[in-house]
Structure 1
Amino acid sequence: MAVPIQIELNVWIFVGFVSSIVGLLCYAFSSSFNHLFGEWNLFKIFLYVIFSFIVFFMTLVTKVWQRSNSILFKTHMAILLLLATSVYSVFYDKAVNQKPDAYILISCAAFAVMSLCLSKQTQFGCEVDLLNFFLGCLIVLLMKRNMWLFFVGAGFSYSLIIISSWTDITPQSENFELQDHLVIEMDSLRHRVPEMHGSLDKNCEEIKSLLRMESKEVQKLGIWGMGGIGKTTIANAVFDELLSQFDRICFLENVHDDLDRHGLNYVCSRLFSELLGRDVDIDIDASELVPSNVMSILGNTKILIVLDDVYSSELVEKLIGGRHDWLGAGSIVILTSRDRYVLTRARVDVIYEVKPMSFEDSLELFSLYAFNQTHPETEYEELSKTAVGYAKGIPLVLKVLGSSLHFKTKSGWESRLRMITNAEIQNVFKLIFNQLADAEREIFLDIACFFEGCDRDQVSRVLDACGFFADIGIKILLDKALITIDSHNCIKMHDFLQEMGRDIVYRESMDNPGRRSRLWNSQDVMDVLTSNKGTDAVESMFLDMTQIPNLHLSSYAFKKMSRLRLLAFDSINNLMIKNPVSIPDGLELPHNLRYLHWDEYPLNSLPSIRWENLVDLSMPHSNLKKLWDGAQNMPMLKKIYLPFSKLLIECPDLSGSPNLESISLLGCESLGQLHPSIFTLQKLEELIVSGCTSLSSICSKTCSPSLQRLHAVGCTNLLECSITTLGDQCKPHLYMKSEF
């Protein structure tokens, strides 16, 4: 149970703190202290107070340093030295005074208890520390009070503690460690719930009342509601409150998005990787049974799983459905979905419908974003109530609307609210969207249709090249709560807002997709490309190649799309797709391209066009043999990404690309040599040639001062690697191993 574990941890913290005070005070009053350190004076008192404070601090907060082995080592060593000094003093007093000092005996016991408490807080088994403490005492007796030899023995015993903490001996010890880890990490998980308002607490309590926490049965609960109403936030809060009552936990956010981007096997493997708590990835085929070794670990454990944004009952069936034998007794699965039918088909035990927030809770949440406080300012009170009335209790609307009014004058509020009068929820977002500057609207639509889930730095780099001042624009969208940045520095957008953005683009030309600024629907893209319906209105195009049959393009498929900035043909990491797009050698691409991503590009070279605007070139698993002939003028190019292009035999002259920052030729097995121009690129930071098994030499008499990383792992035929550096200007980190 969670509460006893938490209480037990707090007891160990308190006992450790008290014992540290007792140990230090008693040692200060002992006779051996005076012998070892001399009589008290002001300087020694000052040092002793400082040292005592450090020990108290370590005893109190060591649990926060759970993942820092270096600090754990120093903390344990400090306590061990105290214990060693105290034990030595026992034998010193016995030798001099024929009996040990009472203060020293109490101090010795207190330090032993403190070491025990510290171990409890830091997941080291208390039995191991007891064993090592008595081992240390035995060594003292054998060494006949030789203090230096005692330190050697104590160091040996401490090493056993370290080894035991790194070794996964039994499933029981693993579960014990995981439970402690859950308790320690509870506070850090709270950050996922941004605002703890009354409505959220009420929803959490109602959901917990529907769960039979003492039951040994496996339970499935569905959380249902419209987009933006707070299903994920509520699931997060329930998850955080319940997690410490379970042996293993997993919260899979955006299951819908992950499934579309990476496929079912990825989602399944991610689920089991998180449940097992391993650092290594686990590859599990969703069509097969759970491996026996995984079953043996999970089968007898109580598990909590949250699958967020589920849109298919078949997905639930494959992930959870017919495999209840790997869910231990008392396990709980929580699903969130906009579709009640999906939850019904998934055979959940109970469906909880998320209701709109009350007016009072809505006003509090709105005020947090509009005023950075839980109540509106006096002169804005009536206007705030009006705004809350328009939001209809939908948290996402409250958050976005509040953010859009933040720092606005009273007249600005009145003007904005007049436009929102009687608008539908999605129209509220559209009105807010219309208030953005032109560049900000373009960035919003590019993210909604093309870049959602992509790395922020990459997006900024490409959009800057489009003239949008991306850093400023992205910050404005963040301030207005229209996008967020996740822990991996990826740009995320609520699916409700993404749908709104895509609807705005769809309405640009409902009947003719070739006249829309952005294309992302696979059927629309196929229609435009095969029927030559593209126009100069098209600025970005994304084709998911896992959703189409073989596609045959003409040389002129892109000819009319002169303003095309962003082009991606993506197989969504599904390597089973083999060149579903066939194109002729004379393919013409627009010279306006800033971003070009094409998985398994079928031709042996790039089209002969002007590439002066291109910023990001990405062609993994391509059929390229060469990129181009001679030096191309590509002043804006910053990234070349060609991993596993196994036919690539030469790296071109890159002297015309002075702004290149990263080149990846990972796994290009046929690449025989690197062009010398690579090492003259003044802004190049990273070069990856790992797995280039035909590469025999990496040599240069010059080195770019910016080069930081050179990866050459698995270059089995590499005979020579020599790069001349100029003083401290160029000191790249070289990564080379015998195996790829």
Structure 2
Amino acid sequence: MDASSNAARSYSSLNSKIPPWKYHVFLSFRGDDTRKGFTAHLHAALQQRGIMTFIDDELQRGDVISIQLIRAIEDSLISLVIFSQNYAYSSWCLDELQKILESTRSLNREVIPVFYNVDPSDVRHQKGAFADAFQKHSERFHDDEEKVQRWRDSLREVANISGHHSKDQLETKLIEEIVRVVWTKLQPHMSYCYKTEFVGVESRIEEANAILKIGLNDVRFLGIWGMGGIGKTSLARAIYEINCNHFDLHYFFTNVRDVCTKEGPVSLQRKFLSRYGKLKSIDIDDAYEGMKIMRNILCTQKVLLVLDDVSEISQLKDLAVKLAWLGTGSRVIVTTRDRHVLIAQGEFEIYEAKLLNHKQSLQLFCQWAFKSDKPTEEYLDLSRSVVKHAAGLPLTLKVLGSQLCGTNIVEWKDTLEKIKKVPPGDVINILRVSYEALDDMEKQIFLDIACFFKGMHKDEVMQILEICDFHPTIGIKRLVEKCMLVIENHHGHDIVGMHDMLQKMGENIILKESLKDVGRRSRLWKTEDITHVLTKNKGTDLIEVMCLHPPMQYEESWIPESFSMMCNLRILIIKSCDVFLPRGLEHFPSSLKILEWEKYPLKSLPHGVHPHELVQIKMHHSKITKLWHQTQMSKRIKIIDLSHSEYLIQTPDFSLLPNLEQLVLKGCMKLVEIWHQKGV
């Protein structure tokens, strides 16, 4: 069985209860021998590695070990016993050793012996200094020979365990080896935190390890791809912690995008090189020099590297991520929001990070909201509402759970209503990173879809965006690669979608363009906002798109010249409603490219219309009798759809529409005059 399978088995065997330990390591030693030297250095190395270590610096010693010390032994997963020349002279140390062995038997703890400047056989058979120590103990405890014998048995038992010997070895190397072994033994226990931090992580680890196949002698790259907040970093960290001790070198590069943007790749190169002894003094002048040094190190080693949040292909090169540059058996894990980074590098197998299902979402949310896997009965329905709103995104579940923890039902309901309008700032900030990484055209496409076109057929969206000169073929592809859009197949049709939190973020971006003056926003979709602009004549040149979906009956007195200031309006869509315009309209902006108006109430377009940019016009069930005067027609028009306009009696002059590609007049029962139909 390979290393990755063993790691997955040890991980999946974890239980979900609070771990029955407080410390990772208990240090047992003779203070006079090693406290200020070897033991102090070992303690510092363990702490630096993140291993919680108990050392009795602050305890008062006496003839009998204290209750506090006994508890510390019982609360430690591993006991490191440092045998030194004078260890056996201390009855305290021998009692401590005896208690350690009791814990290994009753609590399934581990003990690791370290023979510091002593021979293991001297400990095992009580020879040398150990013989002299027991001579003194026999004299002192002559009336309690069983006690002395128990000490002898304890020394023999521990000395028979495979441990570490300082003979012919530098202290630094010995300490490094001890820390490595301890870290490896702790993995099944230390990985416990990921079970609560990331619900459902076990199956994801197994899937990722199946790709990595750690233990084989080839070199493999794994790309973990997904939207912000989905748990890519948590998954990569769990895989790293479980597997890192199977490698000669291992390093986790955190926040690659952020560090490279603010400090440059040299900063990451220096952090990596500073981890390895003699390389700490190397100074790097530029990223290319740093890359060469890293490449020279990595090519001879079996390494595990994790590069978290990569945003550019150049970042992979700067950190020496290339199959040919790594030693046999090496593995590289990259997390990214941009699939194209992995595709362009060309050497990655891609693992798509998945959203949580309902059951997993509820469990994760409850862990943050209630510190439990399940909600109380009175909060069950509210919890389900929050989970539905989060739509499987771990970040949102954690943030909302944290916010709602300890609040009453009234506060829950108020918070839920608030987040339905505006997601929490912590969520928006994480998601907005992806938005800011888009180019200008991609931002325009994303905002149009977020505000208006989510859930529509891909072909229809592509057509609209192409009319607006947004190059949707490459634009939508890049947004999918950057996890800003998804294309889902429903009944044979490709549908454009996005996560609800991304949609809310997009809408929030537009709202923040002008918090008070809605006429200064680029996109309007709320009925009350559009009504305000058109009844108060508050339109400006900042408005690009308006889409009105009011209730079926909608009667407002729009000002006839309400579109006069919207000189950059490119899309006007009015659907599913009866709009009454008792005062009529004077004109539409000449910038208009798409006009869709269902149940248009007037007999023709306003006389002041000069739609030089108009490409598509759809007016189903309109009251139009004649679309417009010949002098008004746009030569760019490609699509005219006047379906079920039962009052239409005359078409435009098609000879003046050289680019017309699609004409739909279905249900136009009163049509009697078709101008220059031949050739159309």
TM-score interval for Structure 1 and Structure 2 normalised by the shorter chain: 0.3 to 0.5
TM-score scaled by structure 1? 0.40
TM-score scaled by structure 2? 0.43
Higher RCO by CA contacts (8 Å cutoff, separation 6 or greater): 2
Please say which structure displays the higher CA radius of gyration.
2
By percentage of residues, which structure has more strand? Answer: 2
